C-alpha cells in the first residue's frame, strides 16, 4: 500500500513541477521570466539561453520514469525501490528554487539549489549500487534520467553560486571574473570526468558537455573562456563516446540475447 501511494506521490510531484514551471513562464511572480531574471546578472559562467532547453529532455525522461515505476515487472527492482521519497524531495526543492528565484530572493535560491543537488546525489547513488542495471528499461528510464538531471544541476549549482556572488557585490579578492570563471570551468569539468570514470557514466558527462558548449557560446567574444569551455567540452565528449562504446550501450541486445538463449538451450539439451 505504501509503495502504491509513493508511486502516485511521484506522479503528483512531477506534475506539480511542470505546472509551476509553466506558470513561471506565463504568469511570472515579478513580471519577469526565469531567463529574464538570469539576464539581470551577467556572469560569464551562465550558459547561452538555448542551453535551458535540456529541461524538456529531462522532464520527458522523468515522465518515462514515473510510468515505468507502475509496471509490475519493474516494481521489484532495487533501482526503483531505493529512490523512496527522494524524487518528491527533488521536486519540492525544484519548485522552491523557482519561486525564490522569481521572487528575486537570489541568495536564498542557492540553498534550494543545493538541496536539489544533494537530493539528486542521494538518488544517483541509490540507483546504481552495482553500476548499470542489466534491465534495459531500468537503465533508460531510471538511471539515465537521473544521470542527466544530476549532471545538469551540478553545472546549474555552480552558475547559481556565481550569480549569488555577483548579486552581493563580491569583488573576487581582486582577481578578474575571467580567472574565477576559468576555475569554475575546471572544477565542473574535473568533477564530471571523475564521476564519468568512477561510475562509467557517459550521460552525466554529456549533460556537462551541453552546459560547457553553451558557456562557450555565451562567451564567444572572450577567446580565453570560449575556447577553454569548448576544449573541455570536446575532451569530455570524446571520453563519453568512448564509455558508450566500451560499455556496450549500442549493442543490439534484443537479437543477441535471443541468439544466446537459443545457443544455451541447445548446449544444455
| pLDDT the model gives residue 147 | 98
79 confidence band (pLDDT: 50, 70, 90):
very high
Contact 180, 162 (CB under 8 A): yes
| pLDDT the model gives residue 121 | 98
For CA atoms 86, 154, 31, 63, the dihedral sign is negative
Q: Distance of CA 41 to CAs 36, 164, 257, 264, Å? A: 9, 9, 53, 62
266 confidence band (pLDDT: 50, 70, 90):
very low
pLDDT above 60 for 269: no
pTM above 0.75, yes or no: yes
120 confidence band (pLDDT: 50, 70, 90):
very high
Cell of 107: 541568495
| pLDDT the model gives residue 188 | 98
Q: Distance of CA 94 to CAs 6, 14, 17, 35, 217, Å? A: 18, 10, 7, 16, 26
Query: How many whole angstroms separate alpha carbon 260 and alpha carbon 210?
Result: 37
**With pLDDT > 70 as the criterion, what percentage of the chain qualifies?**
93
| pLDDT the model gives residue 232 | 98
pLDDT above 90 for 255: no
252 confidence band (pLDDT: 50, 70, 90):
low
**With pLDDT > 90 as the criterion, what percentage of the chain qualifies?**
85
* CA 256 to centroid of chain Cα atoms: 31
Contact 140, 28 (CB under 8 A): no
Contact 51, 211 (CB under 8 A): yes
pLDDT digit string, tens, across residues 156-191 = 999 999 999 999 999 999 999 999 999 999 999 999
Average pLDDT over residues 30-50: 95
Give residue limits of the domains in the chain: 2-268
Q: Distance of CA 201 to CAs 16, 48, 103, 104, 231, Å? A: 29, 25, 36, 35, 20
The DSSP bridge partners found for residue 129 are 131
Position with higher pLDDT, 171 vs 268: 171
Amino acid at each position: 500500500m505504501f509503495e502504491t501511494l509513493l508511486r502516485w506521490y511521484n506522479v503528483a510531484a512531477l506534475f506539480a513541477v511542470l505546472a509551476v514551471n509553466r506558470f513561471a513562464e506565463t504568469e511570472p511572480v515579478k513580471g519577469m521570466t526565469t531567463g529574464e531574471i538570469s539576464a539581470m546578472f551577467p556572469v560569464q559562467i551562465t550558459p547561452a539561453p538555448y542551453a535551458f532547453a535540456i529541461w524538456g529532455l529531462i522532464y520527458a525522461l522523468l515522465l518515462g520514469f514515473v510510468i515505468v515505476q507502475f509496471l509490475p515487472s519493474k516494481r521489484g527492482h532495487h533501482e526503483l525501490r531505493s529512490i523512496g521519497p527522494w524524487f518528491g524531495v527533488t521536486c519540492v526543492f525544484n519548485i522552491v528554487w523557482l519561486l525564490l528565484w522569481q521572487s528575486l530572493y537570489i541568495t536564498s535560491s542557492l540553498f534550494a539549489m543545493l538541496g536539489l543537488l544533494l537530493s539528486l546525489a542521494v538518488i544517483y547513488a541509490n540507483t546504481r549500487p552495482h553500476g548499470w542495471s542489466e534491465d534495459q528499461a531500468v537503465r533508460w528510464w531510471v538511471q539515465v534520467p537521473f544521470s542527466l538531471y544530476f549532471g545538469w544541476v551540478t553545472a546549474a549549482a555552480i552558475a547559481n553560486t556565481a550569480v549569488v556572488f555577483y548579486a552581493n557585490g563580491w569583488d573576487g579578492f581582486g582577481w578578474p571574473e575571467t580567472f574565477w570563471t576559468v576555475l569554475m570551468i575546471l572544477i565542473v569539468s574535473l568533477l564530471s570526468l571523475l564521476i564519468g570514470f568512477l561510475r562509467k557514466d557517459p550521460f552525466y558527462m554529456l549533460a556537462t558537455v551541453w552546459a560547457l558548449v553553451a558557456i562557450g557560446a555565451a562567451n564567444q567574444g572572450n577567446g580565453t573562456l570560449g575556447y577553454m569551455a569548448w576544449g573541455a567540452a570536446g575532451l569530455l565528449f570524446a571520453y563519453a563516446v568512448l564509455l558508450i562504446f566500451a560499455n556496450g550501450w549500442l549493442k543490439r541486445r534484443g537479437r543477441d540475447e535471443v541468439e544466446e538463449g537459443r545457443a544455451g538451450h541447445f548446449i544444455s539439451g
